[in-house]
Each structure stands twice: as C-alpha cells, then as structure tokens.
Structure 1
Amino acid sequence: MPMTEQSDLYCLPESTSAALLFDAPWRRFGVVGDSLSAGIGDPTPGYANRGWADRVADVLRRLGPDARYLNIAEYGVTTAETVSGQLDRMLEFGPDLLHLPCGPNDILRRDPDFDRIEKAMRHMYEVAAGARALLTTFTLGRAFVVPAFPDWHRRIRDMNEITRDVAADYDAVVVDMWNHPFNDRDNLVSADRIHFSTSGQAVMATEVVRRLSHELASRSG
C-alpha cells in the first residue's frame, strides 16, 4: 500500500504540531531566500500539495488568529541577492520568526569561492539580526544532487558547515536535513532532481516544528 501523509512516520498531523508549539510566542513568520526556502516541489500522491513554510504557517495560525506570514523567497537567488533584494522588505514586515536560506545557489558555480560565500552569509545574518527575531535555517540534504558537478557532495558538506557555524554565532535554529532518513526515499525529489516533492516538504515542516518545540523547551528549562 502506498505511503500517505497520514501513515508517514516522519510526519505529524497539524493538530499534533500545534500541540507541540502551544506556548510559542511567534505571531509574525517570515521567509526569505531561494526556491528551497519557498517550498517549491512536485506533488506527491497521498500528500497535501503544500510547501514546508506554508505548512508551518498553518500551524502558527492554529495557535493564534492574529498570526501573520510573509514568504518572499524567489527561485534562483543567492545569499547576496537575498540581502539586496528581500531583507529590507522583510524587516519592514517585522518578523519575530525568520527563516534564512542555506546557500544552494551559491555553490552552483564552476568554482565556488567558499570564503566569499561565508562572508555573504555572515552579512545576511547580520542584517537579519536587525529584526530581533528567532532565526532559522536548513542544511542541505544529501538527496539534493546536481550531476554536472562531480564534487557535489563535498560542496554540500562545505556549505552545510558554513551554515552551521554562522547560524551558531547568531543563535539560529538549524534544521539539519543532511542525513535525515528521508534522503533515501525514491519519491523524495521532484522531476528536476533538486527540489523536494511535497512528501519531502511535509517531512521538513515536521522537522521545523520539532526543532522549534525543542527551542521552546530549552528556553523554559
């Protein structure tokens, strides 16, 4: 029998997710970055056709009817382009929970300069810190593959290390997808072999909720 969102062990129902975040203070959820931030992906039978960020926003709306959500992520943008083209608008929105990209388009170059990439990412976090919001980000999953680059997995590992290091300096929540078991699923990625399908989006939303729940528990402990 094909797996569905209801039978997926890595997915939580929206009501359960809301229960995990019942005392969450966040009422203005913002997302900037690229197509991975936006939650673009092909439909998967048995799963709602919604991206991870829209799903998290739905959970937050369950917690308070005054919750607001703004996602201005754009296909193909780099970290530097996120800063120049999106962050001013996002700061005007005034998020108290803000998701930042993890650099997938920065490493889509013939010879990526990782020192420059790290500098751009640190600048992004510095600007985003002006929102005084809890910052979140992902690491890239190992199922995210661009065959044109034979060193692709090394690039992802290097990018993920930059993401983890910079996020730690800004007390950001990191949702680590690099070695999550769902990377082994046949239906995880879309036809383009880059973006997670909606089955992956559902799992990512659950992982975000779990990490935010852990953050709440650590604050109150």
Structure 2
Amino acid sequence: MTALLTEGTDPFCLSPAEAARLLEGAPWHRFAVLGDSLAAGTGDPSPGYAPLPWAERVAAALRSHHPDLAYRNTGTIGATTGRTLAHQADGLLAFEPDLVHLSCGANDLWRPEPDFGAIEGNLRRLFALSVDTGALLTTFTLGRAFTVPEFPAFPDRVRRLNALVRTIAAEHGALVIEMWDHPVNDRPDLLSADGIHFAGAGQAVMAAEVIRALAEVT
C-alpha cells in the first residue's frame, strides 16, 4: 500500500520556512490576484494539508519579509475573461500592485462553441493592463486533470487556451507557471468533489510552484 502524502512529505510542497527562504530579498509589497475560481483558490480541503488557497500561501511567504504586505484577491467563481475585464480591472489599477497574478479563461470554454477570438482579445487586454501597472505578472496554464465529460473535446479546448496564455504571456514578459503536464495531475485525489477545482493538496503544490518561479527572478 502506498503511504498517503501529507504536506510535510509531499515532494512538490514547500514548508513555510522553505517558502520564506526562497523569497528572501523579494521586492514585492503589493500583491494583487484577479480572474476566476483558479485565481480565488477554490477547492475542497485535503487531509494532511493546511486548508489554504494557493495565493494566501504565496502572500504568507511574502509577508514573512514584508509584514506590511498589501494583498488583494478579486478572483470570482464563474468569471469569464470578459467579466474579469469588466468587473476587476478598475480595482486592479486603483490598488497599484507591484506583483499581479491573472488566471481566467476556463469559464469561457463552457460553451457549445467557445469564441477563441473573443477570449484572445480579452486576455490581451487583461495582460496589457496588468503589465502596464508596472507590476511583475504571473499566470497559470490549466492542468490536464481538468476535464468535462459533457464536452469530449474539452482537453483540446484547454490545450488551445493554454497555448494562447503562453503566447500572450511571452509577449508581455509574464511568468507562466506550467500546470498542464505537472506530475500532480496524475494523483487520483487531486480534484475536489466537483471534478473541476484542485483540492487542498493541489493548492499547496500550485503555491510552491509560484514561489519557486518568483524565487528565480528575485
């Protein structure tokens, strides 16, 4: 029998001390997150893991060096790229961040025929807006474990969205945290009961990957 992983034994996770060490010297004081439920960190708890969304974990690691860190997360369940642009962009500008994370696009795929032209246009505006604040921008690709049975071609939609995200991110100098083919996708207990959102263990892994990516640029 394979031993159950916990946060302390998970090879992809970071302890709070390790996370803080990696971000020693990090310059960011104002961390903003916008987008959909992936940005919000929606997911069921996992036994053996702290019940914390990924972004709160990142904020905690940053706060270990900057106790005055300002953290704002407007991620909203069900938000599309259009709704994110319409309802979260102004707040982002007013917050004046120096570190931004943007995750959205998955909800645009929940249609008989997704409009990839509109998705691309909205993403380009969101990426440009985020970068124009002067902040460092990060984003995720969607994991391959995220499937929708009623849409058999859904993995192809995710691949196409991920390709758009990579292209636009590269054009704007954003950091892409790759979750599409991360080994965590193979875990049978990765997803929450809804079959969509990463559970607590996945949230911990995503946070660790963001922190490792940020550590590369500090």
Normalised to the residue count of structure 2, the TM-score between the two structures is: 0.97
Amino acid of the structure 1 residue aligned with 2:152: P
- For residue 29 of structure 2, the aligned residue among 24, 27, 30 is 27
Comparing 98-107 with 189-198, which one deviates more in the overlay? 98-107
* Partner Cα distance (1:4, 1:40) in 2: 19
- For residue 97 of structure 1, the aligned residue among 96, 99, 124 is 99
Comparing 164-173 with 120-129, which one deviates more in the overlay? 120-129
User: Deviations 1:66-111 (Å, cap 9, x if unpaired)?
Assistant: 1110101111011111111011112111110000114111111110
* Partner Cα distance (1:215, 1:175) in 2: 13
3-state SS, counterpart of residue 91 of structure 2: helix
Pairing of 1:41-120 with structure 2 (within 5 A)? 41-120=43-122
Indicate if the aligned counterparts of 1:43 and 1:197 stay in contact, CA closer than 8 A: yes
Indicate if the aligned counterparts of 1:4 and 1:45 stay in contact, CA closer than 8 A: yes
Indicate if the aligned counterparts of 1:97 and 1:135 stay in contact, CA closer than 8 A: yes
How far apart are 1:130 and its partner, in Å? Answer: 2.7
* Partner Cα distance (1:71, 1:107) in 2: 23
* Partner Cα distance (2:68, 2:6) in 1: 31
Indicate if the aligned counterparts of 2:79 and 2:104 stay in contact, CA closer than 8 A: no
How far apart are 1:24 and its partner, in Å? Answer: 0.8
% identical aligned pairs: 51
* Partner Cα distance (2:92, 2:14) in 1: 29
Q: Please list every run of 5 or more consecutive structure 2 residues that lacks an aligned counterpart in the other structure.
A: none
* Partner Cα distance (1:148, 1:123) in 2: 30
2:149 counterpart of 1:139: no
3-state SS, counterpart of residue 210 of structure 2: helix
Amino acid of the structure 1 residue aligned with 2:52: R
2:117 counterpart of 1:122: no
Count of equivalent residues:
216
Indicate if the aligned counterparts of 2:80 and 2:104 stay in contact, CA closer than 8 A: no
Cα RMSD of the aligned pairs, angstroms, is: 0.9
Amino acid of the structure 2 residue aligned with 1:164: R
Q: Please list every run of 5 or more consecutive structure 1 residues that lacks an aligned counterpart in the other structure.
A: 217-221
User: Deviations 1:127-177 (Å, cap 9, x if unpaired)?
Assistant: 222311001100000001111101011000000000000011110010000
Partner residue, 1:4: 6
* Partner Cα distance (1:163, 1:5) in 2: 29
How far apart are 1:212 and its partner, in Å? Answer: 0.8
* Partner Cα distance (2:70, 2:208) in 1: 19
* Partner Cα distance (1:188, 1:42) in 2: 10
How far apart are 1:215 and its partner, in Å? Answer: 2.3
- For residue 187 of structure 1, the aligned residue among 183, 186, 189 is 189
* Partner Cα distance (2:7, 2:214) in 1: 21
3-state SS, counterpart of residue 86 of structure 1: helix
Indicate if the aligned counterparts of 1:80 and 1:124 stay in contact, CA closer than 8 A: no
* Partner Cα distance (2:119, 2:74) in 1: 21
Partner residue, 1:212: 214
* Partner Cα distance (1:210, 1:128) in 2: 21
Partner residue, 1:219: none
3-state SS, counterpart of residue 103 of structure 2: coil
Indicate if the aligned counterparts of 1:83 and 1:127 stay in contact, CA closer than 8 A: no
